[in-house]
Amino acid sequence: MFKIIEKTELAPKIVKLVIEAPQVAKKALPGQFVMVMAQEEGERIPLTIAGCDAVKGTIDIVFMEIGKTTVLLGKMREGDFVPTLLLGTPSRIEKFGTVVCIGGGVGVTAVYPVAMGLKKAGNLVIGIVGARKKELVIFEKEMKSATIALKIGTDDGSYGIKGFVTDILKEMLEVGTHIDLVYAVGPLPMMRAVSNLTKPYGIKTLVSLNPIMVDATGMCGACRVTVGGVTRLCCVEGPDFDGHLVDFDELAKRQKSYLKEEKEIMNM
């Protein structure tokens, strides 16, 4: 059990928790996630680590209150304890050259540690951040610190460029911007659209997937995704996969498996 030492509402229904977890903070690498429970007997959900301070012994997690567990987590207060388990394979941090890091909505919180790691590894990191509207733009300061240029877009045009992250990426590709790698985290339709855009250009594209997880130990198969025709387990082999090889149609269907049950629980 780990103690919540800080709680901040970054935007409506988007909560950041700073959790005292020295062992996790010491070991965590960019791209890894923690399994978090809001109740001892409750569902476990994967949340990507959004920040980590090995000296203070803390990790940051950010989530949107959309399901039963995230709503319960959002009700937790500073001083409460939350079970947390470090999992996942870290992102590949090496020198690629010019890397475009794309964060859609809350996904930007998962992109930030990777963007910072890539910057430290000597890459030229360009950031693209998208949100539905101005008040949902989060981690702008953090992403500015990790990038040489940051482009922000909102769906309604209330802040930055009007349009999706893919509109910004498309323009960069069309003017011939040299890109060695794209790293994208956000809603599935966004990661699929980013992968479809970069494929004809042959630009390596990594996406961070967060399918439904149950045991998170590679035993139950709940988190399976098909990548290049091969079944992969996201909890132990992910969360990063080659976006050009992911079967997004299958994943989207699997993500909807428990929508009815989730709605029923939310209405109880």
User: Residue 130, interface with ligand NAD (CB under 6 A)?
Assistant: yes
Measured from the CB atom, the residue of 123 and 166 that comes closer to ligand NAD is 166
Q: Which burial class, exposed, middle or buried, applies to 20 when counting CB atoms under 10 A from its CB (0-12, 13-18, 19+)? A: middle
d(CA 91, CA 214): 22
User: Residue 97, interface with ligand FES (CB under 6 A)?
Assistant: no
Smallest separation (angstroms) from ligand FES to the CB of 89: 12
> Which of these ranges, 37-45, 100-108, 113-121, 241-249, lies near ligand NAD under the rule CB under 6 A?
100-108
Q: Which residue has the tokens 């990063």?
A: 240
Q: How far apart are the first and last CA of the chain?
A: 27
Measured from the CB atom, the residue of 167 and 180 that comes closer to ligand NAD is 167
Measured from the Cβ of residue 21, the count of other Cβ atoms closer than 10 Å reads: 25
User: Residue 146, interface with ligand NAD (CB under 6 A)?
Assistant: no
Backbone angles phi, psi at 193, to 5 degrees: -65, -40
> Residues 69, 91, 166, 198: which binds ligand NAD (CB under 6 A)?
166
User: Residue 107, interface with ligand NAD (CB under 6 A)?
Assistant: yes
User: Residue 29, interface with ligand FES (CB under 6 A)?
Assistant: no
User: Residue 243, interface with ligand NAD (CB under 6 A)?
Assistant: no
User: Residue 233, interface with ligand FES (CB under 6 A)?
Assistant: yes
Measured from the CB atom, the residue of 3 and 134 that comes closer to ligand NAD is 134
- Which of the listed partners (ligand NAD, ligand FES, none) does 110 bind, with a CB threshold of 5 to 8 Å by partner kind? ligand NAD
Contact letters (x/-) for ligand FES, 196-215, by CB under 6 A? Answer: -----------------xxx
Closest CA to 54 of 23, 81, 33: 23
Integer angstrom CA distances of residue 50 from 61, 76, 155, 176: 5, 18, 24, 31
Measured from the CB atom, the residue of 21 and 128 that comes closer to ligand NAD is 128
d(CA 155, CA 79): 37
For 117, the 3-state DSSP assignment is helix
Number of residues that bind ligand NAD (CB under 6 A): 25
d(CA 198, CA 45): 30
Closest CA to 120 of 143, 140, 141, 147: 147
Binding residues for ligand NAD, per CB under 6 A? 48, 64, 104-107, 110, 130-132, 153, 155, 164-166, 185-187, 189-190, 193, 208-210, 239
